[in-house]
Every structure is written in C-alpha cells, then in structure tokens.
C-alpha cells in the first residue's frame, strides 16, 4: 500500500531506548553518520519535541511510543530502528539502518499516517476535564488484581451500548489493535483504516465480544461501582478512577507519521510476529 512522501529532513532527533547500552552506543554512530551528511542532530528530548523534523528511534515499539509522546501533535516523521526482534511499528531492522537513512535523506522514503486517540477524564460526571491527553495505541480501564469486578457503562455517541461487567475494557486505535486488544481477543485492523476497537477484558459473560466502531464516533465509559480501577494510557499508568468518573475517547486530529520500510509490508510483519501460515 503506497504511503505519503517523506520530506527530506534538516534536523534529526535521535531517541534511543534508555535501558539499552547497545541503543545508546548506536545512537552515537548514527549521530556521526548524519553530521557527515550535513544534517543537524538533536538529542535533548525537549528540543526533539520542538525542533526535529525527523525522529530516529533506536529500540522497540515502546520507545517509538515515547518518541510520539515527545512530538505531541507535531507532524514530524518517525523512523523506527528495531534493536531486537521485528516490531509492529519499528519496522526497520538494525542491519538495514544506514541504507534506510540514505533513502530518507535522498527523499525516497514514504510514511504511513497513524490515527491517535484523544482521551478526556471527567471526574464524577463533571464537565471539567481532569485529564486531557492523546495515545497512539490504546486506552485501558482495568481493575486491580484483588478488586471486585468493574461495572462499566459504555455509550457510543450517546447511544447506549451495554454495561460491561468485566476486569476492564480496552479502546484501541488500528495501530493498537495488535497490542493489548489482541490479547483480549480483539480483531486485527489494518493500521491505516478508519475504526476503533472496543474490547472487554475477561467479561463476566461470553456474549460480550469485542467490536469495531467508526472512528468519527465518541465513546463514553462510566465506572458504575466502587471497584478499584485505574486508567492506563499507552502502557503508562494513569489516575485511579472513582465511581461516576467518565472516560471519553474519540479520534484525534493529530497523526503519528511512521517511515515505512520498503522491504516489508504489514502482512509480512504479521507473518513474522504471529507466525501466520506455520504449523
């Protein structure tokens, strides 16, 4: 599937996985390579978020999500170099890193726009926003291990869907459909399609199944009981929820732009990660 042309960068930010010595050392080699090409290199995170017109990620999907958070809503492409096994978003293996950088600097790369989700937390039904943020993968409402089951009233653009009695619920973007939502038996969405996954976590009844809703709908999820419940945003622990809290999730106008590896497509990634076609 053809992507959008990736602009030639003048200022490149480098974000290595902070817990990886290899990634940190590789970032120094990448910086020297880029400077030799006349490119300005940025390594300070605040400056990356403000000034970089390309971000090179050295790590895995978690590091890429961190880089997307640094950018906020700014439309700077992200080139994901995977330092371990092939990632769903960090498509380029380390062995192809320099040829891929050459392609980007020559103006021959393409990028895939990925939808983000905007998340609002309304405390106790108040119209005031106690939280206003964005995620690339998913929003998760989940109970603590020893808490009673959560009761979650779900509405789609004000239309009542159901009340999930479950360990929680996941709202995932198409990109996030291959993350936690997949473990909750959710469907795999092609990453650039328009849709949002709503998947209950261990529901009390097997009739409550994951579903996909259009991306122009607004989901409102209200905690109806006193279960000890938390909000998790792209894997980062958020605030504890109280009875009556409303979590609103809708499509963001912002996009995350991922530089595409021309040597592998989404189905190739699925075959590699999920072993499709193997016995």
Task: Give 99's DSSP letter.
Answer: H
Burial class (CB in 10 A: 0-12, 13-18, 19+), 153: middle
The verdict on whether 61 is a catalytic residue reads yes
CB of 172 closer than 8 Å to CB of 140 = no
Looking at the chain, which runs of residues are DSSP E strands? 4-5, 11-16, 40-42, 54-59, 78-82, 92-93, 110-122, 129-135, 138-143, 150-156, 159-166, 168-172, 196-201, 211-213, 219-223, 229-233, 236-241, 246-259
Q: Which of 143, 156, 166 lies closest to 232 in space, CA to CA?
A: 143
Closest by CA to 109, choosing from 99, 118, 121, is: 99
Tokens of 66: 């961190």
Q: Give the whole-angstrom CA distance, residue 234 versus residue 267.
A: 23
CA dist 3 → 56, 93, 106, 110 (Å): 18, 19, 16, 5
CB count in 10 Å sphere of residue 62: 17
Please pick, among 51, 53, 61, 132, the residue that the annotation labels catalytic. 61
Active site residues: 61
């Amino acid at each position: 599937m053809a992507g959008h042309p990736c602009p030639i960068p003048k200022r490149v930010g480098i974000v290595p996985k902070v817990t990886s010595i290899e990634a940190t050392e590789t970032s120094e080699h990448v910086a020297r390579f880029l400077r030799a090409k006349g490119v300005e290199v940025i390594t300070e995170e605040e400056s990356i978020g403000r000034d970089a017109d390309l971000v090179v990620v050295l790590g895995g999907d978690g590091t890429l999500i961190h880089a997307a958070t640094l950018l906020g809503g700014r439309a700077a492409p992200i080139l994901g170099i995977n330092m371990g096994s092939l990632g769903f978003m960090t498509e380029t293996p380390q062995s192809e890193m320099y040829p891929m950088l050459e392609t980007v600097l020559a103006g021959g790369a393409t990028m895939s726009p990925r939808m983000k989700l905007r998340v609002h937390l309304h405390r106790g039904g108040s119209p005031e926003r106690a939280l206003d943020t964005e995620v690339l993968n998913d929003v998760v409402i989940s109970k603590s291990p020893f808490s009673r089951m959560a009761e979650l009233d779900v509405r789609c653009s004000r239309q009542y869907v159901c009340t999930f009695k479950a360990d929680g619920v996941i709202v995932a973007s198409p990109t996030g459909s291959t993350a936690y939502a997949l473990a909750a038996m959710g469907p795999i969405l092609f990453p650039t399609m328009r849709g949002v996954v709503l998947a209950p976590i261990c529901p009390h009844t097997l009739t409550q199944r994951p579903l996909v809703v259009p991306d122009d709908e607004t989901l409102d999820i209200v905690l109806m009981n006193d279960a000890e419940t938390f909000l998790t945003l792209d894997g980062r622990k958020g605030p504890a929820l109280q009875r009556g809290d409303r979590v609103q999730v809708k499509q963001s106008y912002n996009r995350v732009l991922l530089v595409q590896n021309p040597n592998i497509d989404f189905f190739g990634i699925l075959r590699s990660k999920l072993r499709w076609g193997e016995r």
